[in-house]
Amino acid sequence: MKRFKAFIKIIFPQVISVANVLIVFASLFFLFELPKQVFFMGLEIVGFLFLTTLGFYYWNFKKKIDLKEENQTLLTENEALKRRILEEKSNIQEYFIMWLHQMKTPITAAKLTTEMNKSSDEMKIIRKNLMYIEDYSNMALSY
């Protein structure tokens, strides 16, 4: 029913215009006493053209309404997709942060172990590499 009312609002000016033309057309025929057959033939031609035009208007109107509905559906789906992507991104970020914090525990334990055994050269190398690993994990954590 809403579609019908909206369509009537669109074609109302055309209906009024055609009605006015038909009134003038009828007035001229009756004032000049022209044959009624010619009047009815003209009325049929104008009626046919007007109904054809209304059909075209309705086709365009229906096409626009369908496009608006499809557009609204796509916008709704797009918003849902954006929310899902943001949620997935947030989940990945939370997982990454948790993983980094979990990695810092063994790094710290290894660092403490190497500090207890300061004497060997291998421990110095391990400490140096642990420092690099810790720096890289801190860099990733700050990202």
Query: The pTM is what?
Result: 0.57
Pair of tokens at residue 135: 């720096």
Locate tokens 């801190």: which residue? 138
pLDDT in tens, 33-75: 889 998 899 999 999 999 999 999 999 999 999 999 999 999 9
Whether residue 25 contacts residue 43, with contact meaning beta carbons closer than 8 Å, is answered with: yes
Q: What is the four-CA torsion angle of 8, 12, 16, 17, rounded to 10 degrees?
A: -120
Burial of 114 (0-12, 13-18, 19+ CB in 10 A): buried
Residues in the chain: 143
Res 120: pLDDT: 74
